[in-house]
Every structure is written in C-alpha cells, then in structure tokens.
Amino acid sequence: MFEIVYRFDPEGRHTPDPPTDAASARKRLEEGNHEFAVLNDPRTSPPGTRRVVRFDADDLGLPNADGSAPKQEPFAAVLGCADARVPTEMVFGQGCNDLFVVRVAGNVLGSECLGSLDYSLTALGASLKLIAVVGHSRCGAVTAAVDAFLEPTKYLAVASSHQLRSVVDRIFVGVRAAQKALEQAWGPSVVTRPGYRMALIETTVGLNAALTAATVRQEFRDQLGPQREVVYGVYDLISRQVGLPVGVPGVSRVNVGLFAPPTDLSGFEQLGVLFASSAITKELLGG
C-alpha cells in the first residue's frame, strides 16, 4: 500500500523556487515522474510509503487576503492525451498551478490546441519555461489510426464523424513513418510477424509524440530560446515512467526522461529505426 497526499500547511507555507530556465523545468518534471513511478516498487518504496505533494492554498483557489483570485504561474505547459489513465499532474508529481495542461485524444495538434499553447506562451510568458508533448503506450487514438492503416475498411467507422476523423488523420503520418522504420529495421517480412500490429502501434506512439513536439517547436520558434524549450516523451502505462520506448524488458521499459525532438528528416528516420529496433519492439514482434 502507498499513499499520495496533497498537503497545505498554513503554519509552514510551501513556496518552492520556480524553475529559472528550461533545463531546471525539465529536471523538475523528470524528478517528479521518478518519485511517482517508484511508489509501487518494493525496492525503493516499502509498504506504507507516503508521497506528499505540498502546495499553497492560494494555488488551490482559496481567496487572497484582498479577495482576488490567485495568479496563474505554471512553469511548464504539457500537451498530452485525454486518456483517463494518464493523470498529468500526478504523473509528474506536481501540484496546483504548476502545469498548464492541454489534453486531447492522441495528443494531436488542432487549432484549439495550438491556440491554447499560444496563450500559455504569450499570457504566461514570465513563468513558462517548457512545453512538453507526452504520448503514452497503448494509446487508443493511435490504435484506431494503425487499424485503419492496416485495414482501410475500418476507416469507415470514423469517416462519418469529422471530429473522430480529424484525430485519426493527424496520426497517419506517424503510422506511415513507423511502418517504414519497422521494415528498415526488420525487413519487409516484418508485416507477417505475429506482433506486428502492436509493434506498429508502439512505434507510432513514440514518433507521433516526437513529430508533434517538432511541429510545436516550428509553430512557436519565435517565442522559444535558451530559456524556453520544447521536449517530448512517452508515458509507459506499466512502469509509469516517462521516456523513450526503447528500454529492455524486465529492466526498464523506457529510456527515462524528456527529450528534444529531431530537427530534420534524417533525425526522424534515425529515431524511427531506434524505436523499431529496440528490445521492447523485438518482444512485441514475438522474439
């Protein structure tokens, strides 16, 4: 058993120093995810472990002395999937007013998401140091895109809905890149392997997150710099770690951390092959 406790102590106000640059913001997210991920690990968290997330009542929305609302001061914006199994603040061990969270199925970029991120960069510029795009393993939206790619008749299930179709369509680029990477890593016969569908899904998850992060960086290039960066990662539903899906089964399923996306086509091709040739992918393909 373990507990996650959100605590406000009026006698000992908790006001941690905000990250001063992108590197320190990334480190805080990575450390928060590590503390969350090890909660159920008996080697580091014995039964009865309590994870305490401290915050100020101001951030929770209790009125200030003058009756005004708290100021919005997140240090990072996170574009993540709407999947209910990926609670963003909890995954990164953060409290109220720490993160500006945008969630949409498949962590895809539509005009509303771009508008929300644009707002975070312009209206919250003084505090915001990082934009993180976070995909996750076994993503339902990616699965729908992969299934429609492998069996086009399944596209009919979403074709009549503009809203669903727009999500699936945005993921197709990642699916095609993942297919190409798997064939490059394992040969054209990879499509006959028993776990090809799952390998294509998980390779697409990683590439979709990286492609989205690269698009965000391009869209907002004039608002970024040494003190404000764009990174990405994949949340593994089994290990609860955020990183790249290139780990070793039984050891660590991801290369832990948040990473800058590639800057050119060659970089994306290399990244795709890295995902496609990993030990995790080999396991999914059936050895």
pLDDT tens-digit profile of 250-265?
778 889 999 999 999 9
pLDDT at 193: 95
What CATH code is carried by the domain that includes residue 253?
A: 3.40.1050.10
Low-confidence spans in the chain with pLDDT less than 70: 1-2, 10-15, 40-51, 55-65, 287
Contacts of 119 (CB under 8 A, 6+ apart): none
For 200-256, the DSSP string reads HHHHHHHHHHHHHHHHHHHHTGGG-BTTBEEEEEEE-TTT--EEES--BTTTBSSEE
Q: Which residues pair with 51 in a beta bridge?
A: 4
Residue type, 64: N
pLDDT at 58: 64
Residue type, 68: S
Instruction: Tell me whether residue 136 is annotated as binding.
Output: yes
pLDDT tens-digit profile of 162-183?
888 999 999 999 999 999 999 9
pLDDT at 71: 82
**100: enclosing H helix or E strand:** strand 99-103
For 41-80, the DSSP string reads -TTTS-TTEEEEEE--HHHHTPPPTTSPPPPP--SEEEEE
Helix (H, G, I), strand (E, B) or coil at 144: helix
pLDDT at 267: 97
Residues spanned by the domain of 267: 2-284
pLDDT at 2: 67
What is the rounded distance in angstroms from the CA atom of residue 190 to the CA atom of residue 198? 12
Instruction: Tell me whether residue 98 is annotated as binding.
Output: no
CA 266 to chain centre: 23
Token representation of residue 51? 């994870």
Token representation of residue 193? 């392997």
Question: How many helices, marked H, and strands, marked E, lie in the chain?
Answer: 10, 8
- Strand pairing of 76-80 and 49-54? unpaired
| Total domains present in the chain | 1
**99: enclosing H helix or E strand:** strand 99-103
What is the rounded distance in angstroms from the CA atom of residue 195 to the CA atom of residue 52? 40
